[in-house]
Amino acid sequence: MATDVTEDDLMPPIDALAEGLQLDHFRHDYRDLDSPRYRAAIRLIDRRIAACRLYRSLGVP
């Protein structure tokens, strides 16, 4: 990865992700850590991380 490294290679996109949620907003949006909506958000984040070139270069399955 010594050449042609871009920000996208290192950091997944963060668009359309909630940031800085206070507890009451988290509970309103997701209810709890087992809710389908929260789990879907986690899956989206995991997919974005897995798509990063840096992550793929580490050989993590």
In tens digits, the chain (61 residues) has pLDDT values of: 567 888 888 888 898 888 999 999 999 999 999 999 999 999 999 999 888 888 777 776 6
Angle between helices 36-51 and 23-30 (to 10 degrees): 100
pTM: 0.76
Domain assignment present for residue 46? The answer is yes
Residue 10 lies in a domain: no
Position 39 scores a pLDDT of 97
The reply to whether 13 falls in a domain is no
* 6 in a structural domain: no
Range of the domain at 49: 19-57
Has residue 12 been placed in a domain?
no
What does the radius of gyration of the chain's CA atoms come to, in whole angstroms? 15
**How many domains is the chain partitioned into structurally?**
1
| 14 assigned to some structural domain | no
- 1 within some domain: no
